[in-house]
Amino acid sequence: MIGKTNPNLKLTALRGATTSKGDTDYFIKDAVIELIEELITRNNLNQENIISITFSVTKDLTSCFPASIVRKYFNFDKIALLDCQQMFVPNDIKFCIRLLALVYLESDKESVHPYLNESAKLRPDR
């Protein structure tokens, strides 16, 4: 475990979300890749510092699994990845992909939670 061997790292939960332009493999893949790239860039992460990522999607996204996209595109074969369906709430944002990532961040680094595209409405404080 990297955190146990490096006292300058802290276990952190990062949130984020984005929206897809529609329920197709292409649109979902595009949105998921952008979200993960922003999560990595904004938090200065490398693969060894990511423990797990859980994705939830709204019920209108059924074409593919975000975790499978991430596993293949980023070669995250040693990171625990999971998909689930977000609970249904009337008038929720359409085609929304949310994530919860457990990562090790540098102790003095502030967490950055990316909310992209239409999902920015979920967190107007970010």
DSSP 36-97: HHHHHHHHT--GGGEEEEEEEE-TT--S--HHHHHHHHTT-TTSEEEEEEPPP-TTPPTTEE
For residue 9, the surrounding DSSP H or E stretch is strand 9-19
Residues 59 and 86: beta-carbon distance below 8 Å: yes
Higher pLDDT, residue 123 or 54:
54
pLDDT, residue 96, reads: 97
* Cα–Cα distance, 56 to 100 (Å, whole number): 9
**Domain limits, the chain:** 10-122
The percentage of the chain sitting over the pLDDT mark of 70, rounded to a whole number, equals 94
- pLDDT confidence of 121, banded at 50, 70, 90? confident
pLDDT digits (tens, 9 = 90+) for 16-26: 999 999 999 99
Q: CA-CA-CA-CA torsion for 115, 95, 121, 52, nearest 10 degrees?
A: -30
Q: What is the CATH number of domain 10-122?
A: 3.30.1330.40
Q: Which DSSP letter does residue 49 get?
A: G
Residue count (the chain): 126
